Amino acid sequence: MSKNKNIAALIFLTAGLIIGLGISINYDAVENGYSEETGAVISEQAVDVLSRTNNAMAELVSAVKPSIVNISSTKTIRTHGTGGPFFNDPFFNRFFGDQFGQLNRPREHKQSGTGSGVIVDKDGYILTNNHVVQDADEILVKLSDKSEYKGKVIGADPKTDLAVIKIDNGSLPAVKIGDSDSLKVGETVIAIGNPYGLSQTVTSGIVSAKGRANVGVADYEDFIQTDAPINPGNSGGALVNVKGELIGINTAIFSTSGGYQGIGFAIPSNMARAVMKSLIKEGKVIRGWLGVSIQTVSEEMAVHFKLKDQHGALVAEVVEDSPAEKAGILRGDVIIQYDGKTVNDADHLKNMVAMTMPETKVNALISRDGAELTLMIEIGELSSKIQMASGEFDYDNVLSGVSVQDITPELKRSLNIPQRVSGVMVSFVSPESGASGALIQQDVIVEINRRNIRNADEYRNTVSKIRSGDGVLLLLIRNGSAIYLTLRGK
């Protein structure tokens, strides 16, 4: 009885304290949500909508996360000795011993890296970036349930920065691949990966833009731009839509600090799917070939070539006996539509042709002297022989196997290159090249043998005159700093 009296007294005392302090409680507000500062009440409808949105996002993430894996790779790095004129001198070796000579011997050390991957087939096929697994001696794949498997590279394509690896497990949770072409700017997207080794990290944002090129990551660029936070280690992870479908492979960020700054890039799923199928079936990527040298239409060119709009790809040259020549394409033509799709610029057309299977017949809408005509083209295959004929790898010297591209203002900003600097950016270095291990992607070549290089044409003219056994002195911009680099002749 005394216990009940005490409880009653406590209730009475609390009520009196509330009344004495002038505190009133709006029980409806507590139920629905209440802001003490504004006195605003959150309605049941609003809470319900937000709750359903939260539950939907959580459900989506829960369905997709098991398809995202962590990839750890280990590769052997070989470095040259410290060098110098005395290290091979018998006189110095005699007085200082063998240890002195050993300083000039090549050394090896292991380098580890981490990235992300996406399970796209229950039989163990995983999509990731080429740079995540490039030159790896060992690949370890960790699933969402913490189980680990050794990975094997099925195929890689440096030109799109994509790779396919496989693990031995026949019952994996594969993500559904969506149609990236149907993606709209402003759509909500979610990025899932392993930034800084933090596994299964989820971020969200919107599609900021489509068809981004000249980023400087790969030869074939058609990126989805997003503001969903992407950080180092997210490479190879998934960008998914609200249906939980894979619509992009996270690849790169735009940053002046190395961290997230609101701009990330993902390879569209349609491009990734085409590359993956070709790598699995053929062991290489089979690309279409048109046989033209093209450039983007400027505002002045649009007026000169009597175009209605500033879009399309201007044909500067037609390769002899190519699909383009056989179809009747001429120098000065502007290709404004390809296979029923509007051609935005030269990079857009390059990507569309590359993704077209050889022997496919497509219609191209051409603007010629202000008049429009449609031509039927049977696409050929871009072989290594054709690439060499185009001047990409046809040098018999130490720079054979090095691809470069002109530097755009966008690249200068993204790579922290001063505006006054001119040169060419390294977009690809073949593993068989004499420059492999010395030159890296995104190096900017400013000089070759003390000669200024202002564009790709000057680069080709200079490199074509270098003999097989000649050494080369390069002046580079790397990570914002100027360095000299020497390459030994073949």
What are the catalytic residues? Answer: 131, 161, 235
Q: Report the alpha-carbon distance of residue 288 to residue 352 in Å, rounded.
A: 9
What single-letter DSSP state applies at residue 269?
H
Tell me the three state secondary structure of residue 178. Answer: coil
**Angle at the Cα of 446 from the Cα atoms of 445 and 449, rounded to 5 degrees:** 90
Q: Where are the alpha helices (DSSP H) in 97-139?
A: 98-102, 130-133
Torsion sign (Cα): 213, 218, 220, 223: negative
Whether residue 375 contacts residue 352, with contact meaning beta carbons closer than 8 Å, is answered with no
- Which token pair is 456? 């790709």
Which among 173, 177, 172, 144 is positioned nearest to 243, based on CA atoms? 177
* Residue 229, φ and ψ in degrees, nearest 5: -55, 120
Residues 6 or more apart in contact with residue 205 via CB below 8 angstroms: 188, 189, 191, 226, 227, 228, 229
Q: What are all long-range contacts of 365-369, with beta carbons under 8 Å and residues at least 24 apart?
A: 365/335, 365/336, 365/337, 365/338, 366/329, 366/333, 366/334, 366/335, 366/336, 367/305, 367/306, 367/307, 367/312, 367/333, 367/334, 367/336, 368/330, 368/332, 368/333, 368/334, 369/305, 369/306
Task: For the beta carbon of residue 473, count every other beta carbon within 10 angstroms.
Answer: 13
Tell me the three state secondary structure of residue 367. Answer: strand
HSE-up of residue 299 (Cα within 13 Å, Cβ side): 0
Q: Report the alpha-carbon distance of residue 421 to residue 444 in Å, rounded.
A: 9
Tell me the three state secondary structure of residue 403. Answer: strand
